[in-house]
Amino acid sequence: MISRCIAPSLLLAICLILNSSKAAHSKPLIEQAMDRLNSNPPASEESFEFIVIGDSRSSKPVGLPEAFKKMIEEFNILGPAFVIDCGDLILGGAAEGLAPQWDEFGEVVSHCEVPFFPVTGNHDISDEATERIWKERLGPTQYSFRVGNSLFIALNSEEVNALDRISDEQVEWVKNLLTNTDAEHVFCFMHKPYFAQDWDENWANMAEAFRDHPVKMVFGSDIHLYRNCGIKEGVQYVITGGGGAPIHTPEEEGGFHHYLLVRVRGEKVSWSVIRPGSVLPPDVVTADRVEEIRAIRQRWVGTEPVEVQYREGLDREVKTLIHNPYDTEFSSTLSWEVPEGWSVEPKEKAYTAQAEATTELVFHVRADNPESVRF
């Protein structure tokens, strides 16, 4: 019999490695984003892009919006310096029911290949218990970081003891940041757009803090739309709440899913509004894939045999079979060329041909005149 044992020192080393690995994966999201940003900063301190979204939550406890997931795919294509979400990341509710929601959010955001910074929203924090969960899973409720020539400040509009304004304590924190920075640009992010409410009552204290400092843009969300709120006292204000949450505003008033791509070019700042689905990867169409699809159309598309009695009309369903022998699916549209005397419903149909499978499409084919079916 052979006996095996592990030396205490080796066992301790294994435990340390396992605990270290676990700790690395349990870092709050903001700390993870900071680490990623520091390890891969923009090549130029005066020329970079970042993305802003807001209200990426679902209308149900589990099941983040497909629009948000699509945006993450596009963030990976665009490759900005970072992404910042202006809050309402989950549906929220009582603290004891939030674990599955935050678990799903973490899993979805893990697919984002660029640093992802969250900002507190009213669905994320509603009391001291939910605030503790935020701090454990995501990090501080207010924070700042520097990228190149710019300072970025994440404000907390969900302070438990503040009502409809940024607290004086947080304003003092912002003043201290602005006094001690040499940044050329300052960008602020928050959930509730207090700047779009009563200015004197809800925003004057922050506006005063910004005075004589290079604050260029303030982004808010909470309202599920896009709106350029204009420039006031030298600061550009924008609402961006189209990150995937339900839309209740007409499209012409900004009610559509979107995110913002902000560009810093030296002393200039600009931004674009992007709808999900409009950013495609370089390999969206390749020569090899076109050849495969053409081969399928020419060799692997056909209809089932159709028997027609002599001098009788035709009025029946006909199956069209599309065989895809390749290991990747593709989507296309099948269209009929219909000669005189015939009708096909529908004349065209969109389909997705699954990999290494046969797709069946059903059409209704009719020919009233018996002569039409003679050939």
Q: What is the DSSP string of 300-318?
A: SEEE------TT--EEEEE
- Is it the case that residue 146 has pLDDT exceeding 90? yes
List pLDDT tens digits, range 58-90.
999 999 999 999 999 999 999 999 999 999 999
- Is it the case that residue 139 has pLDDT exceeding 80? yes
Backbone angles phi, psi at 66, to 5 degrees: -65, -30
Q: What is the reported pLDDT for 328?
A: 84
* One-letter amino acid of 97: G
Contacts of 165 (CB under 8 A, 6+ apart): 194, 201, 202, 203, 205
Q: Tokens 């899993």 correspond to what residue?
A: 107
- Is it the case that residue 1 has pLDDT exceeding 90? no
Q: What is the reported pLDDT for 299?
A: 72
Distance between the two ends of the chain, CA-based, in angstroms? 85
Question: What pLDDT band is residue 5 in, cutting at 50, 70 and 90?
Answer: very low
- Is it the case that residue 18 has pLDDT exceeding 70? no
Cis status, amide bond into 140, omega within 30 of 0: no
CB 260 within 8 A of CB 271: yes
Which domains can be identified in the chain, with CATH numbers? 26-274 (3.60.21.10), 287-373 (2.60.40.10)
